[in-house]
Amino acid sequence: TTLFRSIGLLPILKPNPLVQLMKHAFLIYAHDEPLVLHTLLRLLDHERNEIFLHLDPRNSVLPSVLSPSPLSRAKLHLLTPAQRVSWGDYSQIEVELRLFAQALQVGPFAHYHLISGVDLPIKPMAEIHAFFDAHPTTEFLGFWNDEVHQRDLERRTHRYYLFTQYLKRAPHKWRHRFTVPLRNVSLAAQKIINYRRHRQQQFHKGFNWCSLTHDCVTWLLEQQTWIQHTFRHMLAPDEIYKQTLIAASPFAKNIYDRNDPERGTMRRIDWTRGRPYVWQTADIDELMAIPHLFARKFDAPTAIALAQRLELA
């Protein structure tokens, strides 16, 4: 609440009685698995959907997914210029905010669904639309509240992280090797002098994948200056910034479920068998039987098999 004394909040608008006629925005950022992305686009091809797509420029194969386009009913908006996205880096937030902003210019939409290029719907599109039509003012945002995630949240938010764009070895092996000791020395020095960033701010953590209402996205983009100031040089801030802002906002009362992150986002993501687990064809019956609407992540054979099942449903 301390934060929001200095930020002007937009009022929550009354539910639009025409929300059932509104379209949905699917915001996708993809960096690999072109066949899975092609399948995802095909499954989202519906007249009530518009797709906003960012293709990581480091993968030269991804644009081939659009030639020819798998879409005939949904409208596609390609986010340009494309930018390099690095895991754990602020660039992930930059692309998310750019996708939200582009969709907002085209909208309004009933919900803005942020997904990756290796996610898939696991229910027919008519069922997905019906679910969100029944929850027109609800925010679908997941929270990790357990003790392990809270310790990780402390580690990520209260130190100043250098060279986060080189956290992973690939595709910049030499820069990664050079910057790791520099970052470690910096973190050790901060620990010795007991340096802590953002001492008064309460942070929250969860999936970056979400489904947010038009009003919430509008308000979120109003906070971009604070987002940049707070979350730059933080470790993996894409899993923190939306939860932190929305949990302390008037939209908090509209969050679907703050205790179960999968139910809260209506996304099935298995962290017990992988980081996360890649669904197999043997799992399709399980996926189609659960109440969730989306799942991640998939490889090409499973994506194609799931699409065939959904198209027959």
Q: What angle do CA 53, 59, 63 make, to 5 degrees?
A: 50
Q: What angle do CA 204, 201, 91 make, to 5 degrees?
A: 60
State how far the Cα of 163 lies from the Cα of 185, in Å rounded to an integer: 12
State how far the Cα of 31 lies from the Cα of 118, in Å rounded to an integer: 9
Backbone angles phi, psi at 179, to 5 degrees: -85, -20
pLDDT at 173: 78
Give pTM, 2 decimals: 0.89
- Considering only CA atoms, which of 188, 33, 207, 206 is closest in space to residue 120? 33
Question: Cβ neighbours of residue 170 under 8 Å, at least 6 residues apart?
Answer: none
- Is the sign of the CA dihedral 49, 55, 142, 250 positive or negative? negative
pLDDT at 289: 94
pLDDT in tens, the chain (313 residues): 444 433 444 444 444 444 457 999 999 999 889 999 999 999 999 999 999 999 998 888 888 889 888 999 999 999 999 998 888 888 999 999 999 999 999 989 999 999 999 999 999 999 999 999 999 999 999 999 988 988 988 888 998 888 777 777 777 777 888 888 888 898 899 889 888 888 888 999 998 999 999 999 999 999 999 999 999 999 999 999 999 999 999 999 999 999 999 999 999 999 999 889 999 999 999 999 999 999 999 999 999 999 999 986 5
pLDDT at 313: 57
- Per the DSSP assignment, residues forming a β-bridge with 76 are 51
